[in-house]
A and B are shown apart, each in its own frame.
Chain A
Amino acid sequence: MGAYFSEIFSGLWSLILGLSVTFKEFFRPTVTVQYPYETLKMPERYRGHIQLIADEEGNPNCIVCMMCQRACPSGCITLDGKKEEGAKKKVLTSYVLDFTKCSLCGSCVESCNFNAIEYSKEYRLAGPRKEDFIFDLLQRLEENKS
Protein backbone atom coordinates (compact mmCIF):
# COMPACT_ATOMS: atom_id res chain seq x y z
CA MET A 1 0.00 0.00 0.00
CA GLY A 2 2.83 2.38 0.89
CA ALA A 3 4.63 1.51 -2.31
CA TYR A 4 1.43 2.20 -4.28
CA PHE A 5 1.11 5.74 -2.96
CA SER A 6 4.81 6.54 -3.08
CA GLU A 7 4.79 5.48 -6.73
CA ILE A 8 1.89 7.79 -7.46
CA PHE A 9 3.51 10.74 -5.70
CA SER A 10 6.98 10.22 -7.16
CA GLY A 11 5.40 9.82 -10.61
CA LEU A 12 3.40 13.01 -10.18
CA TRP A 13 6.49 14.86 -8.97
CA SER A 14 8.49 13.73 -12.00
CA LEU A 15 5.70 14.98 -14.27
CA ILE A 16 5.79 18.38 -12.56
CA LEU A 17 9.57 18.51 -12.95
CA GLY A 18 9.19 17.73 -16.66
CA LEU A 19 6.65 20.51 -17.07
CA SER A 20 8.95 22.97 -15.32
CA VAL A 21 11.73 22.14 -17.78
CA THR A 22 9.59 22.91 -20.83
CA PHE A 23 8.16 26.00 -19.10
CA LYS A 24 11.68 27.41 -18.71
CA GLU A 25 12.61 26.50 -22.29
CA PHE A 26 9.51 28.28 -23.57
CA PHE A 27 10.86 31.69 -22.52
CA ARG A 28 14.41 31.21 -23.73
CA PRO A 29 15.43 32.61 -27.13
CA THR A 30 15.28 30.45 -30.23
CA VAL A 31 18.48 28.88 -31.48
CA THR A 32 17.53 27.96 -35.03
CA VAL A 33 18.59 29.81 -38.17
CA GLN A 34 15.83 30.60 -40.69
CA TYR A 35 17.84 29.09 -43.52
CA PRO A 36 16.83 30.66 -46.81
CA TYR A 37 16.46 34.06 -45.12
CA GLU A 38 19.45 33.84 -42.79
CA THR A 39 22.65 31.89 -43.21
CA LEU A 40 25.39 30.93 -40.84
CA LYS A 41 28.88 32.30 -41.35
CA MET A 42 31.05 29.36 -42.36
CA PRO A 43 33.90 28.59 -39.99
CA GLU A 44 37.50 29.44 -40.92
CA ARG A 45 38.48 25.89 -41.85
CA TYR A 46 35.36 25.02 -43.85
CA ARG A 47 36.30 23.18 -47.05
CA GLY A 48 34.14 24.19 -49.96
CA HIS A 49 35.21 23.78 -53.55
CA ILE A 50 38.44 25.59 -54.42
CA GLN A 51 38.62 29.12 -55.76
CA LEU A 52 41.38 31.28 -57.12
CA ILE A 53 43.06 33.97 -55.06
CA ALA A 54 43.61 37.33 -56.70
CA ASP A 55 46.46 39.75 -56.06
CA GLU A 56 45.98 43.48 -55.37
CA GLU A 57 45.23 44.26 -59.02
CA GLY A 58 42.63 41.53 -59.18
CA ASN A 59 44.63 39.18 -61.38
CA PRO A 60 45.01 35.57 -60.28
CA ASN A 61 48.13 34.65 -58.30
CA CYS A 62 48.40 31.52 -60.39
CA ILE A 63 51.51 31.11 -62.50
CA VAL A 64 50.28 28.00 -64.31
CA CYS A 65 52.83 25.63 -62.75
CA MET A 66 50.33 22.76 -63.09
CA MET A 67 51.09 21.38 -59.60
CA CYS A 68 47.44 21.29 -58.60
CA GLN A 69 46.43 19.48 -61.76
CA ARG A 70 49.08 16.85 -61.09
CA ALA A 71 48.21 16.58 -57.40
CA CYS A 72 44.54 15.96 -58.00
CA PRO A 73 43.81 12.23 -57.56
CA SER A 74 40.55 12.44 -59.48
CA GLY A 75 41.62 14.62 -62.36
CA CYS A 76 39.14 17.37 -61.63
CA ILE A 77 41.31 20.29 -62.50
CA THR A 78 42.02 21.44 -66.04
CA LEU A 79 44.00 24.63 -66.44
CA ASP A 80 45.75 26.36 -69.24
CA GLY A 81 47.94 29.43 -69.65
CA LYS A 82 50.04 31.20 -72.19
CA LYS A 83 53.19 33.27 -72.18
CA GLU A 84 52.79 36.74 -73.62
CA GLU A 85 55.57 38.05 -75.85
CA GLY A 86 58.25 39.56 -73.61
CA ALA A 87 56.50 38.71 -70.34
CA LYS A 88 58.37 36.86 -67.63
CA LYS A 89 55.55 34.71 -66.30
CA LYS A 90 52.77 32.66 -67.80
CA VAL A 91 49.26 34.09 -67.57
CA LEU A 92 46.27 31.90 -66.65
CA THR A 93 43.76 31.67 -69.47
CA SER A 94 41.39 29.01 -68.17
CA TYR A 95 40.89 27.13 -64.91
CA VAL A 96 38.06 24.57 -64.93
CA LEU A 97 37.08 22.50 -61.89
CA ASP A 98 34.95 19.43 -62.53
CA PHE A 99 33.19 19.35 -59.15
CA THR A 100 31.26 16.16 -60.01
CA LYS A 101 34.45 14.18 -59.41
CA CYS A 102 36.02 16.27 -56.63
CA SER A 103 36.17 14.65 -53.19
CA LEU A 104 37.39 17.81 -51.43
CA CYS A 105 40.65 16.09 -50.42
CA GLY A 106 42.55 19.33 -50.59
CA SER A 107 45.67 18.01 -52.28
CA CYS A 108 45.52 20.85 -54.78
CA VAL A 109 45.57 23.52 -52.08
CA GLU A 110 48.43 21.75 -50.29
CA SER A 111 50.47 21.42 -53.44
CA CYS A 112 50.18 25.07 -54.45
CA ASN A 113 53.36 26.98 -53.69
CA PHE A 114 52.16 30.39 -54.91
CA ASN A 115 49.11 31.00 -52.67
CA ALA A 116 46.91 30.82 -55.74
CA ILE A 117 44.01 28.61 -54.61
CA GLU A 118 41.98 28.33 -51.41
CA TYR A 119 38.81 26.69 -50.15
CA SER A 120 35.69 28.72 -50.79
CA LYS A 121 32.87 28.98 -48.22
CA GLU A 122 30.24 28.11 -50.80
CA TYR A 123 27.86 25.30 -49.84
CA ARG A 124 24.63 26.06 -51.67
CA LEU A 125 25.48 23.91 -54.67
CA ALA A 126 22.36 21.84 -55.36
CA GLY A 127 21.54 21.73 -59.05
CA PRO A 128 19.47 19.66 -61.46
CA ARG A 129 22.08 19.28 -64.19
CA LYS A 130 25.54 17.79 -64.29
CA GLU A 131 26.85 20.78 -66.22
CA ASP A 132 26.04 23.02 -63.24
CA PHE A 133 28.98 21.48 -61.41
CA ILE A 134 31.67 22.23 -63.93
CA PHE A 135 32.98 25.51 -62.64
CA ASP A 136 35.00 27.99 -64.59
CA LEU A 137 36.99 29.38 -61.68
CA LEU A 138 38.61 32.15 -63.70
CA GLN A 139 35.19 33.46 -64.69
CA ARG A 140 34.11 33.28 -61.04
CA LEU A 141 37.10 35.33 -60.03
CA GLU A 142 36.10 38.00 -62.57
CA GLU A 143 32.53 37.98 -61.26
CA ASN A 144 33.62 38.28 -57.63
CA LYS A 145 35.91 41.19 -58.52
CA SER A 146 33.07 43.29 -59.90
Chain B
Amino acid sequence: MELTLLNVIIAVVIAIGFAALNAAYLVWAERRGAGRIQRRPGPNINGPLGLLQPPLDGIKLMAKQLIIPGGADKALFIAAPVLAMAPAIVSFVTIPFSDTIVAHNLNVGVLAIFAFASLGGISLLFAGWSSRNKYAVMSSIRAVSQAIAYEIPMLVTVITVVMIAGTMNLADLVGAQKGGIWNWNLFPFKSGLFNPLMLMSFLIFFICTLAETNRAPFDLGEAESELVAGFHTEYGSMGFGLFFMGEYANIVIGSCLTTILFLGGWDCPFGLFPGVWWFIFKIYVLIATVIWIRWTFPRTTIYGLLNLSWKILIPLSLFNLLVTAGLLKVF
Protein backbone atom coordinates (compact mmCIF):
# COMPACT_ATOMS: atom_id res chain seq x y z
CA MET B 1 0.00 0.00 0.00
CA GLU B 2 1.21 3.49 -0.82
CA LEU B 3 2.14 5.68 2.08
CA THR B 4 0.53 9.02 1.33
CA LEU B 5 -0.16 11.76 3.85
CA LEU B 6 -3.93 11.42 3.48
CA ASN B 7 -3.65 7.70 4.04
CA VAL B 8 -1.75 8.22 7.28
CA ILE B 9 -4.12 10.91 8.57
CA ILE B 10 -7.18 8.75 7.89
CA ALA B 11 -5.50 5.79 9.57
CA VAL B 12 -4.64 7.82 12.66
CA VAL B 13 -8.16 9.28 12.88
CA ILE B 14 -9.69 5.81 12.61
CA ALA B 15 -7.20 4.46 15.15
CA ILE B 16 -8.02 7.23 17.64
CA GLY B 17 -11.72 6.69 17.07
CA PHE B 18 -11.42 2.94 17.51
CA ALA B 19 -9.24 3.27 20.61
CA ALA B 20 -11.47 5.90 22.22
CA LEU B 21 -14.68 4.00 21.48
CA ASN B 22 -13.16 0.80 22.81
CA ALA B 23 -11.80 2.53 25.91
CA ALA B 24 -15.19 4.08 26.65
CA TYR B 25 -17.26 0.97 26.12
CA LEU B 26 -14.79 -1.44 27.69
CA VAL B 27 -15.17 0.58 30.89
CA TRP B 28 -18.90 0.02 30.56
CA ALA B 29 -18.38 -3.69 29.84
CA GLU B 30 -15.99 -3.95 32.75
CA ARG B 31 -18.43 -2.34 35.18
CA ARG B 32 -21.37 -4.38 33.93
CA GLY B 33 -19.28 -7.55 34.01
CA ALA B 34 -18.00 -6.83 37.50
CA GLY B 35 -21.59 -6.24 38.53
CA ARG B 36 -22.77 -9.56 37.12
CA ILE B 37 -19.91 -11.43 38.79
CA GLN B 38 -20.71 -9.79 42.11
CA ARG B 39 -24.43 -10.41 41.49
CA ARG B 40 -25.49 -6.79 41.14
CA PRO B 41 -26.59 -5.07 37.92
CA GLY B 42 -23.80 -2.49 37.50
CA PRO B 43 -24.47 0.94 35.91
CA ASN B 44 -28.02 0.77 34.56
CA ILE B 45 -29.52 4.21 35.14
CA ASN B 46 -28.24 6.36 32.26
CA GLY B 47 -29.73 5.17 29.02
CA PRO B 48 -30.82 1.64 28.16
CA LEU B 49 -28.59 -0.84 30.04
CA GLY B 50 -26.52 2.13 31.21
CA LEU B 51 -25.09 2.62 27.72
CA LEU B 52 -24.94 6.40 28.14
CA GLN B 53 -22.66 6.09 31.17
CA PRO B 54 -19.29 6.29 29.30
CA PRO B 55 -20.02 9.51 27.34
CA LEU B 56 -21.40 11.12 30.50
CA ASP B 57 -18.27 10.08 32.41
CA GLY B 58 -16.20 11.60 29.62
CA ILE B 59 -18.10 14.89 29.80
CA LYS B 60 -17.67 14.95 33.57
CA LEU B 61 -13.91 14.37 33.30
CA MET B 62 -13.53 17.04 30.61
CA ALA B 63 -15.47 19.57 32.67
CA LYS B 64 -13.09 19.22 35.61
CA GLN B 65 -10.13 21.47 36.25
CA LEU B 66 -6.66 20.04 35.61
CA ILE B 67 -4.75 20.75 38.81
CA ILE B 68 -0.96 20.66 38.70
CA PRO B 69 0.42 20.16 42.22
CA GLY B 70 2.85 22.78 43.56
CA GLY B 71 6.47 21.79 43.04
CA ALA B 72 5.61 19.30 40.33
CA ASP B 73 7.70 19.08 37.19
CA LYS B 74 5.23 20.78 34.87
CA ALA B 75 6.54 19.60 31.51
CA LEU B 76 6.80 15.94 32.51
CA PHE B 77 3.53 16.09 34.41
CA ILE B 78 1.68 17.17 31.27
CA ALA B 79 3.68 14.90 28.96
CA ALA B 80 3.05 11.71 30.94
CA PRO B 81 -0.66 11.12 30.17
CA VAL B 82 -0.13 11.96 26.51
CA LEU B 83 2.76 9.53 26.44
CA ALA B 84 0.52 6.87 27.97
CA MET B 85 -2.11 7.26 25.27
CA ALA B 86 -0.01 7.96 22.16
CA PRO B 87 1.89 4.63 21.81
CA ALA B 88 -1.37 2.70 21.98
CA ILE B 89 -2.82 4.82 19.17
CA VAL B 90 0.32 4.50 17.06
CA SER B 91 0.38 0.73 17.53
CA PHE B 92 -3.07 0.45 15.93
CA VAL B 93 -1.58 1.73 12.66
CA THR B 94 0.45 -1.42 12.10
CA ILE B 95 -2.05 -4.00 13.35
CA PRO B 96 -3.70 -5.93 10.50
CA PHE B 97 -7.39 -6.64 11.05
CA SER B 98 -7.58 -8.73 7.88
CA ASP B 99 -5.36 -9.17 4.83
CA THR B 100 -6.73 -5.91 3.37
CA ILE B 101 -7.68 -3.86 6.46
CA VAL B 102 -4.37 -2.51 7.67
CA ALA B 103 -3.18 1.09 7.78
CA HIS B 104 0.48 0.44 7.13
CA ASN B 105 1.89 -3.05 7.25
CA LEU B 106 5.47 -2.72 8.51
CA ASN B 107 8.02 -5.41 7.81
CA VAL B 108 9.03 -5.26 11.45
CA GLY B 109 5.53 -4.89 12.86
CA VAL B 110 6.18 -6.98 15.97
CA LEU B 111 9.30 -5.00 16.80
CA ALA B 112 7.50 -1.69 16.22
CA ILE B 113 4.66 -2.60 18.57
CA PHE B 114 7.03 -3.67 21.33
CA ALA B 115 9.07 -0.51 20.86
CA PHE B 116 5.91 1.59 21.29
CA ALA B 117 4.72 -0.53 24.18
CA SER B 118 7.91 0.09 26.12
CA LEU B 119 7.13 3.82 25.96
CA GLY B 120 4.21 3.05 28.26
CA GLY B 121 6.62 2.23 31.09
CA ILE B 122 8.35 5.56 30.57
CA SER B 123 5.06 7.41 30.84
CA LEU B 124 4.36 5.74 34.20
CA LEU B 125 7.84 6.72 35.38
CA PHE B 126 7.30 10.32 34.24
CA ALA B 127 3.90 10.48 35.92
CA GLY B 128 5.18 9.14 39.23
CA TRP B 129 8.34 11.19 39.25
CA SER B 130 6.82 14.52 38.22
CA SER B 131 3.88 14.36 40.67
CA ARG B 132 6.08 15.14 43.69
CA ASN B 133 4.22 12.55 45.70
CA LYS B 134 5.93 9.71 47.54
CA TYR B 135 3.20 7.21 46.75
CA ALA B 136 3.41 8.06 43.07
CA VAL B 137 7.19 7.58 43.10
CA MET B 138 6.89 4.20 44.82
CA SER B 139 4.26 3.17 42.32
CA SER B 140 6.38 4.19 39.34
CA ILE B 141 9.35 2.23 40.73
CA ARG B 142 7.11 -0.82 40.94
CA ALA B 143 5.70 -0.25 37.49
CA VAL B 144 9.16 -0.02 35.94
CA SER B 145 10.51 -3.14 37.67
CA GLN B 146 7.35 -4.94 36.60
CA ALA B 147 7.71 -3.75 33.01
CA ILE B 148 11.30 -5.00 32.87
CA ALA B 149 10.45 -8.32 34.49
CA TYR B 150 7.58 -9.08 32.14
CA GLU B 151 9.03 -7.78 28.89
CA ILE B 152 11.65 -10.53 28.95
CA PRO B 153 9.39 -13.61 28.94
CA MET B 154 7.03 -11.81 26.56
CA LEU B 155 9.77 -11.14 24.05
CA VAL B 156 11.21 -14.65 24.41
CA THR B 157 7.80 -16.11 23.57
CA VAL B 158 7.50 -13.73 20.64
CA ILE B 159 10.92 -14.88 19.39
CA THR B 160 9.62 -18.46 19.49
CA VAL B 161 6.64 -17.54 17.33
CA VAL B 162 8.71 -15.37 14.99
CA MET B 163 11.16 -18.26 14.57
CA ILE B 164 8.36 -20.62 13.49
CA ALA B 165 7.00 -18.18 10.91
CA GLY B 166 10.37 -16.75 9.94
CA THR B 167 9.06 -13.21 9.72
CA MET B 168 8.33 -10.15 11.84
CA ASN B 169 5.59 -8.96 9.52
CA LEU B 170 2.28 -9.27 11.38
CA ALA B 171 0.28 -10.08 8.24
CA ASP B 172 2.79 -12.78 7.26
CA LEU B 173 2.68 -14.18 10.80
CA VAL B 174 -1.05 -14.71 10.36
CA GLY B 175 -0.48 -16.06 6.86
CA ALA B 176 1.80 -18.72 8.29
CA GLN B 177 -1.06 -19.97 10.49
CA LYS B 178 -3.67 -20.15 7.71
CA GLY B 179 -5.94 -23.13 7.16
CA GLY B 180 -7.97 -23.90 10.24
CA ILE B 181 -7.66 -24.27 13.96
CA TRP B 182 -4.99 -27.01 13.89
CA ASN B 183 -2.56 -24.69 12.09
CA TRP B 184 -2.64 -21.97 14.74
CA ASN B 185 0.45 -21.47 16.83
CA LEU B 186 -1.58 -22.27 19.92
CA PHE B 187 -1.91 -25.96 18.96
CA PRO B 188 0.94 -28.40 18.75
CA PHE B 189 -0.38 -30.43 15.78
CA LYS B 190 1.27 -28.38 13.09
CA SER B 191 2.82 -30.41 10.29
CA GLY B 192 6.55 -30.75 10.83
CA LEU B 193 6.44 -29.07 14.24
CA PHE B 194 5.01 -31.16 17.02
CA ASN B 195 5.56 -28.93 20.02
CA PRO B 196 3.12 -29.43 22.92
CA LEU B 197 4.73 -26.53 24.78
CA MET B 198 3.12 -23.88 22.55
CA LEU B 199 0.01 -23.92 24.75
CA MET B 200 2.24 -22.97 27.67
CA SER B 201 3.82 -20.23 25.59
CA PHE B 202 0.37 -18.86 24.86
CA LEU B 203 -0.38 -18.79 28.59
CA ILE B 204 2.93 -17.08 29.31
CA PHE B 205 2.26 -14.48 26.63
CA PHE B 206 -1.24 -13.84 27.95
CA ILE B 207 -0.02 -13.47 31.54
CA CYS B 208 2.67 -11.07 30.35
CA THR B 209 0.05 -9.04 28.47
CA LEU B 210 -1.89 -8.69 31.70
CA ALA B 211 1.23 -7.59 33.54
CA GLU B 212 2.38 -5.22 30.78
CA THR B 213 -0.97 -3.45 30.67
CA ASN B 214 -0.95 -3.14 34.48
CA ARG B 215 -4.16 -5.08 34.80
CA ALA B 216 -5.33 -6.92 37.90
CA PRO B 217 -4.04 -9.16 39.41
CA PHE B 218 -0.81 -7.36 38.45
CA ASP B 219 -1.98 -3.77 38.94
CA LEU B 220 0.60 -3.05 41.62
CA GLY B 221 1.30 0.31 40.04
CA GLU B 222 -2.18 1.40 40.98
CA ALA B 223 -2.61 -0.57 44.23
CA GLU B 224 -5.23 1.70 45.73
CA SER B 225 -5.14 -0.13 49.05
CA GLU B 226 -1.46 0.73 49.59
CA LEU B 227 -0.51 3.63 47.31
CA VAL B 228 -3.69 5.75 47.13
CA ALA B 229 -3.94 5.50 43.35
CA GLY B 230 -0.28 4.98 42.42
CA PHE B 231 1.19 7.00 39.59
CA HIS B 232 -2.05 8.84 38.80
CA THR B 233 -2.70 9.95 42.39
CA GLU B 234 -2.20 13.61 41.48
CA TYR B 235 -4.01 13.52 38.16
CA GLY B 236 -7.53 14.78 37.82
CA SER B 237 -9.67 15.71 34.85
CA MET B 238 -8.59 14.41 31.43
CA GLY B 239 -5.06 13.69 32.72
CA PHE B 240 -6.58 10.78 34.58
CA GLY B 241 -8.92 10.17 31.65
CA LEU B 242 -5.98 9.71 29.26
CA PHE B 243 -4.29 7.21 31.59
CA PHE B 244 -7.54 5.34 31.80
CA MET B 245 -8.08 5.33 28.05
CA GLY B 246 -4.45 4.35 27.53
CA GLU B 247 -4.92 1.34 29.80
CA TYR B 248 -7.92 0.08 27.85
CA ALA B 249 -6.33 0.83 24.49
CA ASN B 250 -3.33 -1.21 25.63
CA ILE B 251 -5.62 -4.10 26.53
CA VAL B 252 -7.02 -4.00 23.01
CA ILE B 253 -3.50 -3.92 21.54
CA GLY B 254 -2.43 -6.82 23.76
CA SER B 255 -5.46 -8.87 22.72
CA CYS B 256 -4.81 -8.08 19.05
CA LEU B 257 -1.20 -9.23 19.42
CA THR B 258 -2.19 -12.43 21.23
CA THR B 259 -4.70 -13.13 18.48
CA ILE B 260 -2.18 -12.51 15.73
CA LEU B 261 0.65 -14.46 17.32
CA PHE B 262 -1.22 -17.46 18.71
CA LEU B 263 -4.84 -17.59 17.57
CA GLY B 264 -4.36 -17.30 13.84
CA GLY B 265 -5.50 -13.68 13.42
CA TRP B 266 -8.51 -13.49 11.06
CA ASP B 267 -8.20 -17.15 10.13
CA CYS B 268 -11.49 -18.96 10.68
CA PRO B 269 -11.33 -22.09 12.85
CA PHE B 270 -13.14 -24.58 10.62
CA GLY B 271 -13.28 -22.71 7.33
CA LEU B 272 -16.64 -21.14 8.21
CA PHE B 273 -17.54 -17.60 7.13
CA PRO B 274 -14.02 -16.24 6.62
CA GLY B 275 -13.64 -12.55 7.23
CA VAL B 276 -12.60 -9.77 9.55
CA TRP B 277 -15.25 -10.67 12.15
CA TRP B 278 -13.24 -13.64 13.28
CA PHE B 279 -10.46 -11.27 14.30
CA ILE B 280 -12.93 -9.00 16.10
CA PHE B 281 -14.56 -12.01 17.77
CA LYS B 282 -11.22 -13.38 19.00
CA ILE B 283 -10.02 -10.08 20.42
CA TYR B 284 -13.26 -9.52 22.28
CA VAL B 285 -13.17 -13.03 23.72
CA LEU B 286 -9.67 -12.26 25.00
CA ILE B 287 -10.75 -8.87 26.36
CA ALA B 288 -13.69 -10.51 28.13
CA THR B 289 -11.23 -12.97 29.66
CA VAL B 290 -9.05 -10.10 30.84
CA ILE B 291 -12.07 -8.51 32.52
CA TRP B 292 -13.14 -11.86 33.95
CA ILE B 293 -9.66 -12.40 35.43
CA ARG B 294 -9.65 -8.96 37.00
CA TRP B 295 -12.85 -9.62 38.91
CA THR B 296 -11.78 -13.10 40.00
CA PHE B 297 -8.31 -12.77 41.47
CA PRO B 298 -7.06 -10.50 44.23
CA ARG B 299 -3.97 -8.39 43.64
CA THR B 300 -0.61 -10.14 44.05
CA THR B 301 2.24 -8.76 46.09
CA ILE B 302 5.25 -7.18 44.38
CA TYR B 303 7.42 -10.12 45.51
CA GLY B 304 4.97 -12.66 44.15
CA LEU B 305 4.83 -10.74 40.93
CA LEU B 306 8.60 -10.62 40.42
CA ASN B 307 9.05 -14.23 41.57
CA LEU B 308 6.48 -15.39 39.05
CA SER B 309 8.33 -13.70 36.26
CA TRP B 310 11.97 -14.49 37.14
CA LYS B 311 11.48 -17.97 38.60
CA ILE B 312 8.73 -19.41 36.44
CA LEU B 313 7.89 -17.48 33.27
CA ILE B 314 11.43 -16.68 32.11
CA PRO B 315 12.88 -20.21 32.57
CA LEU B 316 9.85 -21.86 30.97
CA SER B 317 9.76 -19.49 28.02
CA LEU B 318 13.50 -19.92 27.46
CA PHE B 319 13.05 -23.70 27.62
CA ASN B 320 10.32 -23.54 24.99
CA LEU B 321 12.53 -21.35 22.83
CA LEU B 322 15.24 -24.05 22.92
CA VAL B 323 12.76 -26.87 22.26
CA THR B 324 11.21 -25.03 19.32
CA ALA B 325 14.62 -24.19 17.88
CA GLY B 326 15.61 -27.87 18.17
CA LEU B 327 12.38 -29.06 16.54
CA LEU B 328 12.75 -26.57 13.68
CA LYS B 329 16.32 -27.77 13.14
CA VAL B 330 15.37 -31.47 13.20
CA PHE B 331 12.26 -31.38 10.99
Q: Is the CB of B292 within 8 A of A31?
A: no
- Chain A residue with Cβ nearest B315: A4
Whether A26 contacts B33 in the complex (CB less than 8 A), given A19-B292, A31-B40, A32-B40, comes out as: yes
Q: A interface, by DSSP: helix, strand, loop or mixed?
A: helix
Whether A30 contacts B39 in the complex (CB less than 8 A), given A18-B297, A22-B295, comes out as: yes
Contact of B293 among A19, A25, A27, A31 (CB under 8 A): A19
Q: Is the CB of A25 within 8 A of B39?
A: yes
The reply to whether the CB of B166 lies closer than 8 angstroms to some CB of chain A is no
Give CA–CA (A28, B37) in the complex, Å.
9
Give CA–CA (A61, B297) in the complex, Å.
59
Give CA–CA (A15, B41) in the complex, Å.
25
Note all chain B residues with C-beta closer than 8 A to A28.
39
Contact of A22 among B40, B44, B292, B312 (CB under 8 A): B292
Note all chain A residues with C-beta closer than 8 A to B33.
26
Contact of B39 among A19, A21, A32, A34 (CB under 8 A): A32
Q: Is the CB of B37 within 8 A of A34?
A: no
Q: How far, in Å, is A38 (CB) from chain B's closest CB?
A: 11
Give CA–CA (A15, B296) in the complex, Å.
9
Interface of A with B (CB < 8 Å)? 8, 15, 18-19, 21-23, 25-32, 34
Note all chain A residues with C-beta closer than 8 A to B312.
8
Give CA–CA (A15, B297) in the complex, Å.
8
Note all chain B residues with C-beta closer than 8 A to A8.
312
Give CA–CA (A32, B295) in the complex, Å.
18
The reply to whether the CB of B36 lies closer than 8 angstroms to some CB of chain A is yes
- Chain A residue with Cβ nearest B296: A22
Contact of A21 among B36, B41, B293, B296 (CB under 8 A): B296
Q: Is the CB of A18 within 8 A of B40?
A: no
Q: Is the CB of B40 within 8 A of A30?
A: yes
Q: Is the CB of A32 within 8 A of B41?
A: yes
- Chain B residue with Cβ nearest A8: B312
Contact of A18 among B38, B39, B44, B296 (CB under 8 A): B296
- Chain B residue with Cβ nearest A21: B296
26 A-B pairs within 8 Å (CB atoms) are namely: A15-B297, A18-B296, A18-B297, A19-B292, A19-B293, A19-B296, A21-B296, A22-B292, A22-B296, A23-B292, A25-B38, A26-B33, A26-B36, A26-B37, A26-B292, A27-B36, A28-B39, A29-B39, A30-B36, A30-B40, A30-B41, A31-B39, A32-B39, A32-B40, A34-B41, A34-B44
Note all chain A residues with C-beta closer than 8 A to B44.
34
